[in-house]
Amino acid sequence: GGGPGGLTLARALSSLPGRPCVATVYEAQSELRPAVGGGLQLSSGADVLDRLGVDVSRVGKPLRSVLSRKTNGDRLLQLDVQAAMRAAGASRIGESADGAFAITRTALQAALVASLPEGTLLLGMPFKSATPTKGGQGVTCVFGDETIEADVLVGFDGISSSVATKCFGNGPLDSIFQPTSSGIRVIFCIAPGGMRPDGSVSQFHQWLGDGGYALSASYGAGTDHVEDMVVLCSTTAAMQDGEIGKSENTGWEAGDGMVKERALRQAAVAGMPPEVIKVIKGSERFYETEVRFRLPRLGWSRHGSIVLAGDAAHAMPPFLGQGANQAICDAYALASLLKRVAPGG
């Protein structure tokens, strides 16, 4: 998978000290589509990437505070993010350094791809099958029309993981670990930078209303480029008939004008403030998706040569901003172990 987790694993295997490892990232999509997906909040993930020599501060924006309010303006929480991280002993945070960043998925993906040796990422190579070989010491994989031999296959291919489905889906308890609906749908509304209140580019604003929640935030989208975003969450119970989307939209296909109208209607019903409405009205891209989660498996590996990581192993709702962070941390932990045991070192 060519998302943040898989790309970080390849970067870690190519840069961490230890036995030599050659990593190849197989991505099902035929191209890395620009301007696809929403924004990510990186904290522990930023620490890991810093250790790997990937400087997200060059393309992301510092996240310095979170302000949570009711839609009537009553303040619920104001958090100094950097102070909280220093108090928790975050490893890379000094008195003047930023340790948390807001970054678009596209910008993070581009930074990671640029950090890899040429030829590491192969596009248009969907996973077809995997067969353990060598008494559990290797695996034969089929990607597209190509068959390859590897020591380890890592399924970093998201909540709808093909590796999980094809290699882990036959046990009596496997239904427990399938993606599960949370009953919440999310509309991502993405606008050019400059739509949010002055001075808020390094602040996340959370708004809590009746039957709805909105996050207003700014994300680094490359060098000197910012995108403003509203993430609008509604429970299916709070939606009107016909408003519940028919698709889980796992491929992050952009929505049309009907999605924008639905976002404006839901924001109005929840009593969202002008800040939220302005960003929705000024947005140029919309993505509507269902929030699903996946309970962590009791075991994430099969036959000693196939392992799941990231959302394929433990997808979580987005409300603490930990999905990408945990995937990146998975990659670092797994790479550190593989570098100890890789053959030929």
Given pLDDT bands bounded at 50, 70 and 90, which one contains residue 238? very low
- Residue 157's pLDDT is 95
- Residue 92's pLDDT is 62
Give the number of domains in the chain. Answer: 2
Instruction: Work out the number of other CB atoms within 10 angstroms of the CB of residue 342.
Output: 16
pLDDT mean over 192-212: 94
- The pLDDT tens digits for 326-336 are 999 999 999 99
Residue 23, pLDDT > 60, answer yes
Question: Cα-flanking dihedrals φ and ψ of residue 233, to 5°?
Answer: -115, 135
Rounded distance, CA 197 to CA 194, Å? 8
Domain stops at, among 292, 310, 327: 292
Residue 277, pLDDT > 60, answer yes
Q: What is the DSSP letter of 105?
A: H
Does a structural domain hold residue 157?
A: yes
Q: Residue 169: which residues within 8 A CB-CB, separation 6 or more?
A: none
pTM of the model: 0.91
223 shares its domain with 269? yes
221 shares its domain with 141? no
- Residue 301's pLDDT is 85
CB 233 within 8 A of CB 33: no
Residue 258, pLDDT > 60, answer yes
- Residue 241's pLDDT is 44
Of 35-39, 164-168, 308-312, give the lowest mean pLDDT range.
35-39
Average pLDDT, the chain: 88
pLDDT mean over 50-78: 95
Does a structural domain hold residue 193?
A: yes
- The pLDDT tens digits for 69-114 are 999 999 999 999 988 888 887 756 555 578 899 999 999 999 999 9
Q: Find residue 290's DSSP bridge partners.
A: 185
Residue 216, pLDDT > 80, answer yes
| Cα–Cα distance list, 20 to 168, 177, 185 (Å) | 29, 34, 44
Domain holding 26, by residue range, is 4-63+99-178+294-341
Of 86-100, 195-209, 249-263, 287-301, give the lowest mean pLDDT range.
86-100
Residue 242, pLDDT > 50, answer no
- Residue 173's pLDDT is 62
264 shares its domain with 201? yes
236 shares its domain with 138? no
- The pLDDT tens digits for 115-134 are 999 999 999 999 999 999 87
Does a structural domain hold residue 75?
A: no
14 shares its domain with 136? yes
165 vs 69: which has the higher pLDDT: 69
